[in-house]
Amino acid sequence: MNDSLNFSDDNIMLVTGGAGFIGSNIVKLLVDYGHKVRVLDNLSTGYLKNIEKFDVDFIKGDICDNDIVQKAISGVSVVFHLAAHIGNVKSLSNPQEDAHINIIGTLNILEASRKLSVKRIIYSSSAAIFGELLTMPIGEDHPQNPDSPYGVSKLAGEKSVLCFGKLYDIVVVCLRYFNVYGQNQRYDEYGNVIPIFANRLISGKSLTIYGDGEQTRDFVNVKDVAMANYLAAAKAEKSDVYNVGSGQNITINQLAQYIQLASGISTSIEYAPPRKGEVRHCRADISKITNKFGFRPDCDIQKGPKEYFEWFREDFQPTPR
């Protein structure tokens, strides 16, 4: 598998946001397969300890800084672009910052890639671009009507990437992530529900579910997301978009049961009003990426949380009550 990218030993793979949750898992996979890796991260949400055991060229900097971006992309053949302002709910409080990072920052990456002859760009997009689903499961051709500034900015970034793929000699692939979870995903009050549940369980708190808990989500392990990125870089022959999920969904009520079983900790559940910017149901159609690249995720949603909670317990730092 490590020969799949078909580049010489001198080629460098850049991972923007490579010290973050998903990015660090991509870094690990690339290093495991013997590739030279460079990481660009401003450490606003990333952690050096995620990548400190890997032999990588680390540049601390921001994708909104053109000089830093030019330095990071110099000599690079493939860019995995993950650096972003992330989260539907988080974007509601600061839509300007969200747009600046996700749109202008992405354009900086694209312009530098064009000027410095990057061969491939793998762009991390999001299922947030779809908005409320009209059909299930959701295919790549589903209407795109985002319900949050984050969804809007990721869609704008995706359109920009695809535009550059048409205009210039670059193969670009947009990967639309559904609900990613796994190792290196730390607690954030605006983040994914799994680390929020894990944090509350280990802190001895009840679980809070927004709405009635019957809303559904497609949870995909970050190991599978990292492999999807690698397969896209290795096998894509032309620019395109692909869903990256498990192809299954569960209710948040079910998830609350699974995470309690995985942790061995039982607690009460409190229900709060639904939050703005969040869809009711979600499940990915992953047949396109499966047929094209051979992507086959591990869909065991009961095993995954157990592995995650074991990591989370070791990494846990108390948060204020």
Active site residue 47: no
- Give the per-residue SS3 of 102-119: HHHHHHHHHHHHHHCCCC
CB 232 within 8 A of CB 290: no
Q: How far is 111 from 116, CA to CA, in rounded Å?
A: 9
Amino acid at 233: A
Q: How far is 162 from 142, CA to CA, in rounded Å?
A: 17
- Give the per-residue SS3 of 29-53: HHHHCCCEEEEEECCCCCCHHHCCC
CB 177 within 8 A of CB 244: yes
What is the enclosing helix (H) or strand (E) of 299? none
Question: Both tokens of residue 41?
Answer: 């991260």
Catalytic pick among 33, 123, 150, 308: 150
- Residues labelled catalytic: 150
